[in-house]
Homo-oligomer: A and B are copies of this chain.
Amino acid sequence: MKVTLEEIIQSIYPLPQQVLEDVLEHFQHLEYPKNYFLLKPGKPCKYLWFMIEGAVRYFYTNEQGKEINTWFSLDTQIITDTTSFVHQEPAQESIQLIENCELCAIEYSALQTLLQKHHSFALWYIKLVEMHYISQIEDRLADLQFLDAKQRYQKLLNHYPDITNRISLGNIASYLNITQETLSRIRAGKI
């Protein structure tokens, strides 16, 4: 059974019924095909998305034109470029679908209106940021700082056992901050 937006929202921090209804009205339900860009550099990130089903990658393009993945969101996760979204300033990264996706989205201005209008929604948003965003980035930071390439790959595999079927080796290598040659050697057990 696919998860619903309402279930996602209520699992973060339960809202009173009439607040929930107001919130749900401000979301749009969207479907996009594989390779579609949710965000391109230079544009402010206008939305906060919730993934119902699918997969996306976040990436930067460096001076040499090489794409470097910084994050994946697979199924039921929140998607946004937080820095660009919270300051409504031009994004530096891209967000691209790597599978056909089903998403729910709320606009920045609608979010601000709801935060001002409902105290309970502000408490909900605090939980969202604390639980989903901060934990994710801090985990990733600790990984980069303490683990070597092989350990980072094994952790990713534990977290997403089916990732090799959904995301190409090159994309995973880029995320792990190693070359695809090195990842290939790790898979072959040569490292």
Contact = CB atoms under 8 A, between A and B. Distances in A.
A177 to B, nearest CB: 6
Contact of A141 (B86, B130, B133, B140): B140
Interface string A58-74: 00101000001010000
A3 interface: no
A177 B142 CA distance: 11
Interface stretch (A114-122, A164-172, A182-190): A114-122
B137 A141 contact: yes
A24 interface: no
A135 interface: yes
A138 interface: yes
Contacts of A122: 119, 122-123, 126
A145 B86 contact: no
Nearest to A134: B82
Contacts of A123: 115-116, 122
Nearest to A92: B142
A83 B130 CA distance: 8
Given A68-B146, A119-B119, A123-B122, A129 B134 contact: yes
Copies per assembly? 2
> Interface size bucket, A side?
20 to 34
Interface of A: 60, 62, 68, 70, 82-83, 86-87, 115-116, 119, 122-123, 125-126, 129-131, 133-135, 137-138, 140-142, 144-146, 177
26 contacts: A60-B146, A68-B145, A70-B141, A70-B142, A83-B135, A86-B134, A115-B123, A119-B119, A119-B122, A122-B122, A122-B126, A126-B129, A129-B129, A129-B130, A129-B134, A133-B134, A134-B134, A134-B137, A137-B137, A137-B138, A137-B141, A140-B141, A141-B141, A141-B144, A144-B144, A145-B177
